[in-house]
Chain A
Amino acid sequence: GEDVEQSLFLSVREGDSSVINCTYTDSSSTYLYWYKQEPGAGLQLLTYIFSNMDMKQDQRLTVLLNKKDKHLSLRIADTQTGDSAIYFCAESLSEYGNKLVFGAGTILRVKS
């Protein structure tokens, strides 16, 4: 079955880069996503990558995909205190259309 795993916690200093990692098991994933959730709020779509891409960059965000190892990462450059949140990795499975499977989330804490 499908399974998405993330490390639970990451702490960085303001101005440093943050790298949040995710692994998934289903090789039929079509798209992989990163969502951000602030306390008491819904999820904000940050970025996504198609499964035949290796990298996608969007301003301070860089997504790297290693399809062979089924490993996805999100790098946040120049991390700010406002980036403190929970980050969820998710995959969509082609056989289920647009159903998303989420990881447990990584808590990012940015220290000033």
Chain B
Amino acid sequence: GAVVSQHPSRVICKSGTSVKIECRSLDFQATTMFWYRQFPKQSLMLMATSNEGSKATYEQGVEKDKFLINHASLTLSTLTVTSAHPEDSSFYICSADTGTGAYEQYFGPGTRLTVT
């Protein structure tokens, strides 16, 4: 149980275009999902916390107009990188909270975004 999927696993896009990444909880309902960014050989940086049916909460320094997050259902959250630039190239990982008292977060496999 507690499986989280992401789609696509890899995407290459041209500078100036927008890219949407999907995060799904496959076998549980997730009231809260999280989006992280990971640079090579570095830790995960939390970008935003996404609650179903409400606006996402962004971490300091993360542009909410550039990284659009939608959490329309209890099993799906999307991250759209708008007007992508090469510096947006990174590994994007989502996680979903099972809602139990232990705050267990289960992570998706990640999406490698390359902006050319």
Contact = CB atoms under 8 A, between A and B. Distances in A.
Given A40-B110, A42-B109, A98-B32, A30 B103 contact: yes
Interface residues of A, number: 21
Given A98-B32, A104-B42, A43 B93 contact: yes
A50 B105 CA distance: 15
B110 A42 contact: yes
Nearest to B9: A40
B43 A100 contact: no
A24 interface: no
Contacts of A40: 110, 112
B46 A99 contact: yes
Which of A42, A43, A50, A103 neighbours the largest number of chain B CB atoms within 10 Å of its CB? Answer: A42
Contacts, number: 48
Interface SS of chain A: helix, strand, loop or mixed?
Answer: strand
Contact of B104 (A45, A88, A104): A45
Interface in A61-102: 88, 92, 97-100, 102
B93 A42 contact: yes
Contacts of A105: 42-43
Contact of A31 (B4, B49, B103): B103
Contact of B105 (A45, A103, A104): A45
Nearest to B94: A42
Interface of B: 4, 6, 32, 34, 42-44, 46, 49, 93, 95, 97, 102-110, 112
